[in-house]
Structure 1
Amino acid sequence: MLNKSEMGWVDFSSEDRDRVRDVIKQLSEPGTLDELGIGALRDGFADLMFPGFSTIQTRAKYLITIPRIIRDYLALKPAQQRRQSLQQYLEQQENLLAKALTLQHLNEGVTGIIGSTMKDGESVARLPSSVYWVALRTWGIIDTQASLNQFLRSVKPAESSLGSKLPDEADDTDGVSADSRIHLDRYDPQWIEGVHITLSESEAVFLNHKLQNGPINSLPAQLELSGLLKEVLDEDLTGFAQLAGWVAATPGLAQRTRDTVKMAHSFSELIYGAHLRFNIVVARNNQREDLLDQYELLWCDWHKVPQAGPEQVSQWLAATNISLRGRTGTFLMEWSEHIANSVSVVVLDALVEKQALGNKKERSILKKRLPDNYRWIGMSRLDFRWAQVRTILRDIQEGLPC
């Protein structure tokens, strides 16, 4: 009998594998366990507000360095390309970049350098190109609908640096080259010498322009187009709830964007109550009277505030075009109905417990005895990637001319 589970990959695309890796990573981090199965709706709202961004992105600089590395490869002579594929070159240069940035900012307390903790002889565990590829496509920095692997395979080493075509471009009559699909502020073959994690003025202006011309109803595009980016960054909006309050009070943004933020915040608040009851159930099962008292007080405060009803839940699902797995959609409807009708906590706890067990089955936290010092389990109020987006937008804003 096997004592250890193993995972194998079906080779669909790098995005498919990255999505699974993200899930595995999240399961090892506090506050990300999706015990109630609402992650798809959370991600649906995040994709509307912050398309292309993810929770594992760190700094804006990688939106520049990845296309620079690809452009460097495309500038090589065909003979040099035949000796090394774009995939090999990209991996090599991204590892060199990690070392260069780490040395450049040594002992400066700089955060967000991918690969800064790797030791001699090691490689970056998660290359920036895989982390930022969707963002590069979404914001028009690299013009392609191909996955990262498809794009890398499409640039054949034996071809001219100006002659490589992508799978989705095969029928283009004008023969668009891979080189012309890479957009940058300027070509700088010496860019890696003295590279910094911060953006130059030219790079910041370029990314600022890309955000302005990105998905029109996304929050980054609206903040750029309305001239409100500096204002939102100057505010102490560290959490999504604070951001939602600011957006509600700011008429300069498109109504569709404001509506999306409002719906996302309402969803976060409604489902926070369910996660609160879930933690009360867990605390009761584990005889944690200290946590039980604490969470019951939080519940009393939460329950005083009016929450979204079933009609709003239907609007959320329509707006995000999300189909929730299993009976999660029914659970959301029933939860909102019960809250609107002030149903007893006995019924609420039974509903939450049923959903958790139906979602996770034998893997549910409810089936496990937890350590004596455990704290909050699973999700709390949702952030929708705002923390990561805020850092990247701040990088861009700080690089712009005064």
Structure 2
Amino acid sequence: MTIRPEGETMDNAYLHWLDLTAADRDKARKVLDLFNEQGTVDELGLGSLRDVLSNALFPGTSVLHTRLRYVLFIPWVYQQLEARHGNFDVASEARRLEVTLIDALATSDAPEGIIGVHAREAVARLASSAYWAALVHWGLFVPAKSQGWYHAHFHSLRRRRSDYPRTDDPGVIWTQEATWHPRLPPAPDAFPEDAAFALTPEEADFLLGRLEATCNGTLLAWLAREGSSSPAEYLWEDPEALRGPPAICDVVELARRFSRHVEGAPLLYNLLLAELRRTEHDRADDEEWIEHYRDALAEWANREADEDAFDPEALWHFVRLHGAHLPTPQQRFVETWSRRVAMNGPDGVVNDEELRRLIADRERQLKGPRARVVNQGRLLDWRGNVGVGRMQFRWPQVRRLLIDLHKGLGH
């Protein structure tokens, strides 16, 4: 398998899919997902740190998520296939039903958030692929395996299912080898030809139970239970997120402080590019970009100066506690950035030669000859704004999921 990113987004990456197993494809998709969240992580290699914090706050979620009812749509699609007789290509049939679902959602009253609505039959990334990790983590897909594994074992799993009758609880169907959670709410009669994103109270209550059971002690479970249908636009401003139990608030604060602290790094990176391109190519608009990023760094410095000094050791302890890998170059980058900010003050970052070398060296280390600081073609292609903004830890996506949940609960 060859993965060759030609830019900063998944759209510009391509795969050679020859001879890939189902497990290989699942792994490849996870790699490509890393290109989906824009920001400093793509340029300066902080993605694994962002992901550790994101997973601790919102386990099972993804930047690809749009609406919560997808975690029911997907099991319902496969339950329809499991009820069929005979052999068939499960991947093709599941895809056909998912495309039917796209068409149905497109005609619903509130179609915002449809995955594949523009591509329809040509959609490259189905909702089932985007949400599979949530189905596993939240306990809806009982075998807790990949989608590729499920497709490969689909017919053998069906054949091994027993015919145990219902118990006196009509909400539970006992099988020898369960595929989906036994209390999964039933699909509407006309599904998937008729579908909408609004959760019923029964569905919302079921999903609340799943989040509480599988994500206990996280911000996701806390907000599922204590939040509302109108969460704040920014995580750091959400009142329910800020009044959680101390252990949860500690993670929120670590994420908030880290995102603020390293927000200045991509600003300095873009300033370097503007200055370099002005020197090398005398582009007329680069003076404006230079002024823009000097102003942006000054604004960041004012905000950073109001904070206590950032302690990287607290972050490293958290990363190790969660069993994540901590590459030495990544650790050295953050520690050097923190040391220089503490030594010279945030307002000294803009002219700090050591930090400028740190940024340039980091890009060369990550991208080699494709780094903009050494590749004239890519420097000329720079559009003036790459990777800026604070890490959001999937909050925009989680916020939408929480809105769906609490509307279903009637909050």
- Pairwise TM-score range, normalised by the shorter structure: 0.7 to 0.9
Residue 8 of structure 1 and its aligned partner are, at CA, apart by: 2.5
The equivalences for 1:249-288 within 5 A come to: 250=243, 253-287=244-278, 288=286
Cα distance, 1:24–1:37 mapped onto 2, change above 3 Å: closer
Match of 2:141 in 1: 142
Match of 1:65 in 2: 73
Match of 2:152 in 1: 153
Quick one: higher RCO (CA 8 Å, sep 6+), 1 or 2?
1
Match of 1:115 in 2: 116
One-letter amino acid of the structure 2 residue matched with residue 271 of structure 1: V
Match of 2:409 in 1: 400
Q: 2:82·2:158 contact (CA, 8 Å) conserved in 1?
A: no
Q: 2:235·2:395 contact (CA, 8 Å) conserved in 1?
A: yes
1:341 paired with 2:343, answer: yes
The equivalences for 1:246-395 within 5 A come to: 247-248=241-242, 250=243, 253-287=244-278, 288-304=286-302, 305=305, 306=307, 307-325=309-327, 327-342=329-344, 345-369=352-376, 370-371=379-380, 374-395=383-404
CA distance in 2, matches of 1:314, 1:295: 30
Identity of aligned residues (%): 26
The equivalences for 1:41-120 within 5 A come to: 41-76=49-84, 80-82=85-87, 84-105=88-109, 110-118=111-119
Match of 2:208 in 1: 208
Q: 2:40·2:391 contact (CA, 8 Å) conserved in 1?
A: no
Cα distance, 1:155–1:113 mapped onto 2, change above 3 Å: same
CA distance in 2, matches of 1:320, 1:131: 23
Report the secondary structure of 2:141's partner residue.
coil
Aligned residues: CA RMSD: 2.8
Match of 2:166 in 1: none
Residue 218 of structure 1 and its aligned partner are, at CA, apart by: 1.9
Per-residue CA distance 1:84-124 (angstroms, 9 max, x = gap): 1433321221111111211335xx6x3211121125xx333
Residue 327 of structure 1 and its aligned partner are, at CA, apart by: 0.9
Residue 324 of structure 1 and its aligned partner are, at CA, apart by: 3.4
Instruction: Give the counterpart of 1:18 among 29, 32, 40.
Output: 29
Match of 1:132 in 2: 131
Residue 31 of structure 1 and its aligned partner are, at CA, apart by: 3.8
Cα distance, 1:179–1:46 mapped onto 2, change above 3 Å: closer
CA distance in 2, matches of 1:286, 1:241: 36
Match of 1:171 in 2: none
Residue 160 of structure 1 and its aligned partner are, at CA, apart by: 3.5
Cα distance, 1:351–1:189 mapped onto 2, change above 3 Å: same
Q: Which moved more, 1:385-394 or 1:195-204?
A: 195-204
Residue 144 of structure 1 and its aligned partner are, at CA, apart by: 2.2
Q: 1:52·1:139 contact (CA, 8 Å) conserved in 2?
A: yes
Report the secondary structure of 2:407's partner residue.
helix
Residue 32 of structure 1 and its aligned partner are, at CA, apart by: 6.5
Q: 2:267·2:388 contact (CA, 8 Å) conserved in 1?
A: no
Instruction: Give the counterpart of 2:237 among 201, 219, 242.
Output: 242
Residue 157 of structure 1 and its aligned partner are, at CA, apart by: 6.2
Q: 2:230·2:403 contact (CA, 8 Å) conserved in 1?
A: no
TM-score by length of 1: 0.82
Residue 180 of structure 1 and its aligned partner are, at CA, apart by: 5.4
Per-residue CA distance 1:346-366 (angstroms, 9 max, x = gap): 222122211121122212222
CA distance in 2, matches of 1:151, 1:372: 43
CA distance in 1, matches of 2:399, 2:236: 14
CA distance in 2, matches of 1:87, 1:182: 23
Q: Which moved more, 1:184-193 or 1:32-41?
A: 184-193
Cα distance, 1:361–1:56 mapped onto 2, change above 3 Å: same
Cα distance, 1:264–1:220 mapped onto 2, change above 3 Å: same
Report the secondary structure of 2:326's partner residue.
coil
Per-residue CA distance 1:146-189 (angstroms, 9 max, x = gap): 1111122222169547359xxxxxxxxx9832345464123545
One-letter amino acid of the structure 2 residue matched with residue 383 of structure 1: Q
Cα distance, 1:280–1:259 mapped onto 2, change above 3 Å: same
The number of residue pairs the alignment matches comes to 369
Q: 1:56·1:131 contact (CA, 8 Å) conserved in 2?
A: yes
TM-score by length of 2: 0.81
